[in-house]
Amino acid sequence: MNVWIQFLLCAALIFFAGHKLSLYGEIIAERTGLAKSWVGIVLLGVITSLCELVTSVSAVTLHDLPDMAVSGTIGSCLFNLMVIALLDVYSKKPVSHVVDQGQILSAGFGIVLMGLGVIDIVYGKYLPVLTFLNNSDPLSLVYPLLYILAMKLIFSYESAREAASIVKLAEGAPEQKRSMVAILMPFTFYAALIVGASCYLPELAEQIGTATGWGQSFIGSSFIAITTSLPEVAVSMSAARRGSFDLAVGNLLGSNLFNVVILAVTDFCYAKAPLLRTISELNALPAVASIIATAIVVIGLMYRSEKKVLLLAGDAIGIFLVYFLANILLFNAH
């Protein structure tokens, strides 16, 4: 079968399974009493990042493609930010005007984490190597700690919010009557589908890169990043159609936070050398673009414009320009 057809089928399977997985994730959160918005954002952020986690780890352990692992994960962060801009289409007012300003917490931590990633990619060679921890990078210990700190602060903020602003994650009385076993079984099934399809992605992407002459960094930051972000797209678009823009934006920003933790996990799994020191410095480009795009999100959340140009607000247009400029530069760099 043609490699492009296989890639499209794999992407379609991930999108379908990701949509179902996120739906059951919302139901589980509600049934276990974890329906507060901050828990939903964290839960969905982790669930929808499962593709990135499996793809990144399998890229280095099964296929020895460190560039693909990193570019796919960082590229997913940049793509998630473009999806935030796309959410404007579903709202009468700019999304940055209708969501809670507490989203700045997630965005701010995202800038810090990705900024450290850029430092690691460009200047990591001057840092020591943790030989006792599978030749990993010292900063790989920092990323999870910052993620935990971010979740703690988000929890503190959400706890102080009024009850009326809390997002309800799952609705529908019929789901309340189903047993947890009946909910966990399909949840596990769709999770397995995502794991299987994600493990297959790096090999297909490598074949596409060989056939087209495109580099690992571009393939990872485009095809892999977009495909593994499909669960986030499914969750966020579904939430936006219901008017739950806080949930949609929180899921995407929360996913970006977890994606940087994925780089640490992948580093621990890559025994040859510290992961971010073995890849092309071109990967710093989408990382810097992610920082710029996240900063635009922060500006939008602070300014809270009520105007849109056709379907998009000014901050959304800025994010689109950053996304396409980064990909054009990355493509031409090869």
Q: Residue 46 is encoded by which pair of tokens?
A: 């982790």
Average pLDDT over every residue of 157-165? 61
Exposure string over 218-235, b if 16+ CB within 10 A, otherwise e: bbbbbbbbbbbbbbbbbb
pLDDT band at 36 (very low <50, low <70, confident <90, very high): very low
pLDDT at position 64 is: 86
Closest CA to 80 of 315, 253, 320, 265: 253
Higher pLDDT, 143 or 211: 143
The Cα 100–Cα 23 span in angstroms is 23
Q: Is the pLDDT of residue 228 over 80?
A: no
Distance of CA 155 to the CA centre of its chain: 20
Other Cβ atoms within 10 Å of 325 Cβ, number:
13
Average pLDDT over every residue of 115-141? 94
Average pLDDT over every residue of 109-118? 97
Q: Is the pLDDT of residue 35 over 50?
A: no
The torsion angles phi and psi of 210, rounded to 5 degrees, stand at -65, -40
pLDDT band at 146 (very low <50, low <70, confident <90, very high): very high
Q: Residue 248 is encoded by which pair of tokens?
A: 């949609």
3-332 fold: A middle domain of Talin 1 (1.20.1420)
pLDDT band at 28 (very low <50, low <70, confident <90, very high): confident
Closest CA to 26 of 42, 50, 15, 10: 42
pLDDT at position 291 is: 98
Share of the chain above pLDDT 70, in %: 84
Exposure string over 84-119, b if 16+ CB within 10 A, otherwise e: bbbbbebbeebbbbbbbebbbbbbbbbbbbbebbbb
Other Cβ atoms within 10 Å of 236 Cβ, number:
29
Q: Residue 257 is encoded by which pair of tokens?
A: 């936070």
Q: Is the pLDDT of residue 27 over 80?
A: no
